[in-house]
Amino acid sequence: MPTTTATTTHDGLPPLHTHKPSLRTTTNRVFVVVHFSAILALLYRHTLSLLHSTTLTSFFITLTFLISDTLLAFMYTTTQSLRMKPIYRTEFPENLKRVVEESDFPALDVFICTADPYKEPPMNVVNTALSVMAYDYPTEKVSVYVSDDGGSALTLFAFMEAAKFASHWLPFCKNNNIVERCPEAYFETDHSRFPEAEKIKIMYQGMKVKVNNVMERGKVDQEYLTGEQEIQAFSKWTDGFTRQDHPVVIQVLLDHSKDRDITGHLMSNLIYVSREKSRTSPHHFKAGALNALLRVSATMTNAPIVLTLDCDMYSNNPDTPLRALCYLSDPKLRSKVGYVQFPQRFQGINKTDIYASEFMHLFIINPWGFDGLLGPNYVGTGCFFSRRAFFGGPSELIPPEIPQLHPNNVVDKPLQNPEVLELANHVASCNYENNSTWGHKMGVRYGSLVEDYFTGYILLCEGWNAIFCNPERAAFLGDAPINLLDALNQTKRWAVGLLEVAFSKYSPVTYGVRAMGPLMGLGFAYYAFWAFWAIPITTYAFVPQLALLNGITLFPKVSDPWFLLYVFVALGAYGEELVDFVLSGGTFLKWWNNQRMWMIRGLSSFAFGFVEYFLKSLGISTHGFNVTSKVLDEDQRKRYEQGMMEFGVSSPFFVPLTVAAIVNLAAFAWGHVKIFRDGGSLEGLFVQMFIAGFGIVNSVPIYEAMISRNDKGKIPTKTSLVSTIFAFALYAVAYVTLRN
Ligand SMILES: O=c1ccn([C@@H]2O[C@H](COP(=O)(O)OP(=O)(O)O[C@H]3O[C@H](CO)[C@@H](O)[C@H](O)[C@H]3O)[C@@H](O)[C@H]2O)c(=O)[nH]1
Ligand SMILES: [Mn+2]
């Protein structure tokens, strides 16, 4: 039986949270010993055959499998660390007000990042902001900061409209106790039982039309502006203003000391920030944006709790800050907890999640595993930080360069005080960080395209703990890519960013293990070396098949006892994943697609990520943060909902996938010919036939997209042709090398 440890804050006070270990802990631990022994036996066998290889070809083939299987074993070991002590938490937000007076709740600064109005429609960003402004939290304590790295007047315009709409939307939500506080999501369903709902819906749609008009024109015309103040706000967009080169823009859109909603209640602060940009200084993408916000917010409100959100992650539950507080205000945890991470969960995923973008392992399963150790990784959004965590480890504060940025500083001036605004502008300038430790010892860390992973990891290394909070009703809902190319580009960016950490002096296998112990270190290494999957996946996608085409046997016969070992190792690994996945709330089909996407990424995102990383290290190319598009194409959306894989464009990503699909099919067919026509024995070729067959089953969407589809999402003929040529070339190379 699991033991339940309830944490009571003080004598007699009700508990704020509890947690229990996973029931599978013991099974997991026993299984890893058995399974790992089998893996070692397999590697031993490879080593023996390597030593006894008779020809150069067999030597190289064995070496390839030895390397691939060693990498598989390494990745396997890293994931096991997260199976050793998973825990599940529950919190009791309903008890919070009995433990902490509402007036003692800490203030909350919310950061929302956006970077490009054409890839991240301003109306979506507005929805995210409105959903958090409507939190069930004392309004005077909430400040929402929008960081616009796109430096777009269109986004500012949308937010001016949003500020007006908020004065209707916020009281409507609170007075009617609406759960769904993101207007777009709310109005998707019918709400005729609230008389005002219709009126507000019309208002919302009016705002949408206005914003979309401005978007279409690409600029904010004077006719849309009311009053001197609004005109003034856009005066910074002069002719020389571009997204890469522009001054700081900070605009207070709502000021809680004076702006009231239509029922007369004060509203939370809403502040638009676009940090200064110049082509000559590095801006460090989202990490830079967050650091600028950390400083700007410090000068204006300096709330002790900071929530970071991506523009596409709206709040789906108004009590979320209370849940975070259940941990952040617990006196037993308070001084050690650096952040409380909520999982990324998504809206609009299709029934079987064809692109595996729910990332069940990344966002749910592994965080449970981390949570039983020191805490989950930070995933960039939906995370409540203690501001203090950005300034050195729990026992050693690194003071910022000016006292106003100190996490304990109390801001005693109003938001729009000229001195405050002047300082806010100063700390958002692009030279501010020169000769400072921002991004290195302080704030969000620089040097990786996955600033989230890197920063969370470093905070944990510094001695902070973190909490994984996964309430039943999703706290936040975000957008996932709905076409294959977007999905693969996203994982390629992650793969590159993770390699940047893997090969830095902070590598989890060295630095991480030293700082946090082997289990945490390995858990983080699993991600750092993510791109390494490319090697075994590519090997298994091509080598057994090319050997089969040339009649060469690579694996033990079915009657050989070693065959059983192979079966056990493979089924064990796959089976364990399946059990984990399904018991964590997934379905069999989602799991199936998840494993397919793992292979697809291996052949594309991971492989290309690898190449890109090494080209960059050699100084041959550079890489940037390519923002994922959140714009929905209606046709694409329909195909996505029907579960069709979207190719459409010709991209190098699709070539290895298509080549693999062709080679596997050819090998499988040729294997049959050999067995049935030439009377070959299935015994020896069984494993290779099985692998090719498995490849084929996984490639079904690719065959469909090559041959039987006629919609815009099919594989372009050019890609099919190029891939066929590559497949032949591979065959030719194999023929020449394997047959002698
Ligand atoms: O120069 C930049 C680039 C991006 N962003 C913002 O970063 C967020 C994430 O970008 P997105 O294109 O949505 O990337 P995803 O791959 O979907 O994001 C995941 O991966 C990122 C790291 O690669 C993390 O920052 C995110 O939180 C995490 O959800 C968005 O809000 C962007 O507006 C900026 O503010 N400035
Ligand atoms: Mn995103």
pLDDT reported for residue 516: 98
Cβ neighbourhood burial of 138 (10 Å; 0-12, 13-18, 19+): middle
**Residue ID of nearest Cα to ligand 1 atom 22:** 450
Cα(626) to centroid of ligand 1, in Å? 8
d(CA 276, CA 151): 9
Q: Please tell me whether 286 is known to bind a ligand.
A: yes
Q: What residues are annotated to the active site?
A: 149, 452
Q: Which atom of ligand 1 is nearest to the CA of 494?
A: 23
pLDDT reported for residue 10: 54
ipTM exceeds 0.85, yes or no: yes
Where do the structural domains in the chain lie, given as residue ranges?
105-306+399-426, 507-738
DSSP state string for 277-337: B-TTS---HHHHHHHHHHHHHHHHT--SEEEEEETT-EES-TTHHHHHHHHHT-TTTTTTE
Q: What is the DSSP letter of 450?
A: -
Q: Is 120 in the pocket of ligand 1 (CB under 6 A)?
A: yes
Cβ(297)–Cβ(145) under 8 Å? yes
Q: Is 285 in the pocket of ligand 1 (CB under 6 A)?
A: yes
**Nearest bound ligand to CA 625?**
1
Under-70 pLDDT residues of the chain: 1-11, 680, 740
Residue 389's closest CA among 337, 348, 321? 337
Q: Please tell me whether 119 is known to bind a ligand.
A: yes
Question: Tokens standing for 21?
Answer: 């270990």
Q: Is 115 in the pocket of ligand 1 (CB under 6 A)?
A: yes
d(CA 395, CA 462): 9
Strand partners, 424: none
Cα(135) to centroid of ligand 2, in Å? 22
Question: Which pTM was predicted?
Answer: 0.96
Tell me how far the alpha carbon of residue 93 is from its chain's centroid. Answer: 27
Q: Is 629 in the pocket of ligand 1 (CB under 6 A)?
A: no
Cα(627) to centroid of ligand 1, in Å? 6
Is residue 220 classed as helix, strand or coil in its secondary structure?
A: coil
Residue found by looking up tokens 């950390």 in the block: 294
In angstroms, what CA-CA distances link 253 with 132, 144, 161, 259?
A: 15, 10, 10, 9
Q: Which atom of ligand 1 is nearest to the CA of 627?
A: 12
Whole-angstrom Cα Rg for the chain = 28
**Residue ID of nearest Cα to ligand 1 atom 32:** 114
